[in-house]
């Protein structure tokens, strides 16, 4: 299953990650999301095909969804996570 990762700053605990997950779920409950508050990485597991195929338009949609959810609860959306 493809994964798209995003970077969010400001999370300090599991409660922060849970708050972000709830904010994401309120926008699209069909997404499978894993959040590591220590690294600030939000990983969205994408279906191989179906409702949300991997396209640049869907990548932009996901980025905006994560940015909006993070901003709503006071975190800083940095962008797409590209490991060093």
Question: The CATH number of the domain where 66 resides is what?
Answer: 3.30.70.100
| Separation CA 61–CA 11 (nearest Å) | 22
Phi/psi at 44 (5° precision): -110, 120
pLDDT in tens, 37-83: 999 999 998 766 555 555 667 788 999 999 999 999 999 999 988 77
| Separation CA 10–CA 42 (nearest Å) | 12
Q: Domain range holding 53?
A: 3-80
Distance of CA 15 to the CA centre of its chain: 16
- Structure confidence at residue 59 (pLDDT): 84
pTM comes to 0.85
- CA proximity to 7, closest of 47, 84, 58: 84
Count of domains for the chain: 1
Mean pLDDT of the 7-30 span: 96
């Amino acid at each position: 299953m493809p994964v798209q990762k995003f970077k969010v700053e400001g999370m300090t605990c599991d409660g922060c990650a849970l708050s972000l997950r709830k904010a994401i779920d309120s926008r699209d409950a069909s997404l499978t999301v894993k959040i590591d508050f220590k690294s600030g990485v939000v990983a969205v597991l994408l279906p191989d095909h179906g409702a949300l195929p991997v396209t640049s338009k869907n990548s932009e949609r996901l980025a905006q969804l994560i940015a909006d959810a993070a901003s709503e609860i006071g975190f800083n959306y940095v962008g797409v996570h590209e490991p060093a």
